[in-house]
Structure 1
Amino acid sequence: MIFNFVFFFLLYRERKANPVWYFTPPDAYRLTEQNITDFVNCVKECAFIAIFTKAYLKEAAKACQYLSMLRPELIVPPLVEKLFSSIDSMSEPHRFTSIMTCLASLARQIVRQAPHFSQGQTYVLPLLMAVLPGIDSNDFKKTAVTFQFLNAMLMLVTCVDCSSAIHTRNDLTEIEKEVCLSTAKFEDFVTEFLNRTFQMIDTLSTEMSDAVVVITKVNLEDHVTELALTSMMFGIVQQCSKKIFQTVREKITNFLAGSFFTPKVGKLVTGLVRAILKANPEETLKYLLPQTCERIENIMSHSETTILTDHKGDTELTWCLILFSELVRARGDTLLIYKPIILSVFHRCVRIVHKDTHEAVANAAKNLLKSLSYVYPLEYRLTVENIEEPFTDFLPIR
């Protein structure tokens, strides 16, 4: 690992040295392209073997990252093949998590178009689809590694179906045509990802241990899962097409309709809402805030005489107010048109004595004040170009 870093640093000093401050060696003494290739071929097998050693996985992943910067065509394809071969391996499940940990550090080399390695993008959709079975509520480590890999990839790609570009552009290479055709699977990926996420949430919400979480601190695993899930969902919706965002919004809205969740999984659900709310607050509020406020009003109307002073609380009301507090995190200007129903909820619920319910109301007030007083960016996308069809001026895969 140290030798690998020294070689990489030496190459950087030779190729990027400042002529004012650093000595520039003569061309005859510099590392040649063949030297770099020979070095990568010499070290890569040791790095590949080290991936499967528990004690040195991080060092192996870092070594593969450096090597992929030098020669991605020699590092990325073998590791991708190893991942595909490990997915169905029942006898060695640790191989799957080890290789995914390594590939997460190679995400940039996979998605970018390099002069000598442009086919990395052809692996993106197959990889995204292949790792989805790693979302397993019974195996936190595998789920965490899967989320880590998906997060690394989704922050670097634009989730847009570019398949129609092969009919509108005549400047595409064969690899670019293949990549454009593969992007037609983005919607399938998003749908399957959400289905597996919802399945995981449903499983967690029915576990016997859920009753304990109500009176104890949220454990580290739940917190890590919540952060990763929110980050992944935001990675998708902040730079996806309108069609894919609509699919995401509809599935999350349908999942929330008429349901309420316990504290253990509530944060996972609100994490999904927070992501789509940040990416497109207008449309998210349109389909969620009025329905949530109406649901709260109905609960209060049917039992207001007892619910205000009931120290046991109402689980459904508590969940609705938690969701309400999440929705008022939206950009301040998008909340103004909902002022009457927001104030109505506060007037009805501010006197509730149940601890968790009152805390949800307090959080809603805090989030609302922040939303109305903070300055927010209007766009979070990585590019300001138009990513919708017909792709005549801009192609998202480039």
Structure 2
Amino acid sequence: MDFRYSGMVETLTESKKYMTTMRWVMVLINMIVASRTETDGYDGRHLVLPFASSLLPAIDPNDMTKTLTALSCLCIVISYINVVDCSSLSDTIEDETKREICHGTGGFDDFVVQLLDRVFTLIENRAHENTRMADSRIANSVNMEDISLQRIIWAVFRPLATHSSSAICKIAVDKIVSFALSHTLETDVSGRLFSAICQAYAVSRPDIILPKLLPKLCASVEHL
């Protein structure tokens, strides 16, 4: 199998074509991740991080259909992998394919940081967009989008928190805590979306996020 991910997302600007392509990817992703050279003649694991990274530009506040599709695909990808940086061990591995895969995991921390940046921008833009909505029918439609977005954000970050190494999880938590303390979010839209991320880490890695977040939140409440 020759899985050509390069340029696939960037060249698809129409939401319908993008969604069709992503549906096929969702069907194939398990096969790609599970493939091994010994049995299948190729190892698709080295494609996972480049493909996941190529989805990030599709998280676009101006195109919710594309955004929800990209996040849904990321949810599936993340559920199949361990987000662990093994690059320091790559020199000890003799098999060239496995060494390449191991070396590639060094990009996981950057991927998580970029994913959070994209989602934070999305959250901020959703708040701004909804404050401008006047027509009740449009508002109801947007509300359904926000409900779907909240669910998919949880679905992405729950396995990400669960499957990440402690080192990568700490990097993510530092960004989450920094965002929480530096932004004031309204409770109807952006606050709910951001809370989905916090809940995902609080459920999966309470040992990492709670000691960093709770004392600072309590201190900020005391100063009110």
TM range (shorter): 0.7 to 0.9
What aligned pairs does 1:324-363 form with structure 2 within 5 A after superposition?
Answer: none
TM-score (norm: length of structure 1): 0.51
Alignment pair present for 1:298 and 2:223: yes
Distance 1:102 1:261, change over 3 A: same
Distance 1:261 1:98, change over 3 A: same
Q: Hey, what's the Cα distance between the residues in 2 that align with 1:141 and 1:259?
A: 26
1:193 is matched with which residue?
A: 115
Q: Hey, what's the Cα distance between the residues in 2 that align with 1:176 and 1:101?
A: 28
TM-score (norm: length of structure 2): 0.88
The letter of the residue matching 1:286 is: P
Q: Hey, what's the Cα distance between the residues in 2 that align with 1:211 and 1:91?
A: 26
Partner deviation per Cα, 1:291-337 (whole Å, 9 max, x = no partner): 222222322xxxxxxxxxxxxxxxxxxxxxxxxxxxxxxxxxxxxxx
Corresponding residue to 2:191 among 257, 266, 271: 266
The letter of the residue matching 2:128 is: T
Alignment pair present for 1:176 and 2:101: no
Q: What is the Cα deviation at residue 92 of structure 1?
A: 4.8
Q: Hey, what's the Cα distance between the residues in 2 that align with 1:117 and 1:146?
A: 29
SS in 2 for 1:137: coil
> In 1, are the aligned partners of 2:93 and 2:99 still within 8 Å (CA)?
no
Q: Which runs of 4+ in 1 moved over 6 A?
A: none
Alignment pair present for 1:288 and 2:213: yes
As a proportion of its length, which structure holds more helix?
2
Larger radius of gyration: 1
SS in 2 for 1:219: helix
Percent identity of equivalent pairs: 26
Corresponding residue to 1:230 among 148, 154, 167: 154
Partner deviation per Cα, 1:87-113 (whole Å, 9 max, x = no partner): 333665543332112111222111113
> In 2, are the aligned partners of 1:118 and 1:175 still within 8 Å (CA)?
no
Q: Hey, what's the Cα distance between the residues in 1 that align with 2:124 and 2:143?
A: 18
Partner deviation per Cα, 1:170-191 (whole Å, 9 max, x = no partner): 4xx2211111111111111111
Q: What is the Cα deviation at residue 133 of structure 1?
A: 0.7
Q: What is the Cα deviation at residue 193 of structure 1?
A: 0.5
Q: Hey, what's the Cα distance between the residues in 2 that align with 1:236 and 1:90?
A: 26
Q: Hey, what's the Cα distance between the residues in 1 that align with 2:42 and 2:161?
A: 26
Aligned length: 217
Distance 1:128 1:211, change over 3 A: same
The letter of the residue matching 1:148 is: S
> In 1, are the aligned partners of 2:10 and 2:54 still within 8 Å (CA)?
no
Q: What is the Cα deviation at residue 282 of structure 1?
A: 2.5
Q: Hey, what's the Cα distance between the residues in 1 that align with 2:12 and 2:82?
A: 33
> In 2, are the aligned partners of 1:86 and 1:93 still within 8 Å (CA)?
no
The letter of the residue matching 1:268 is: L
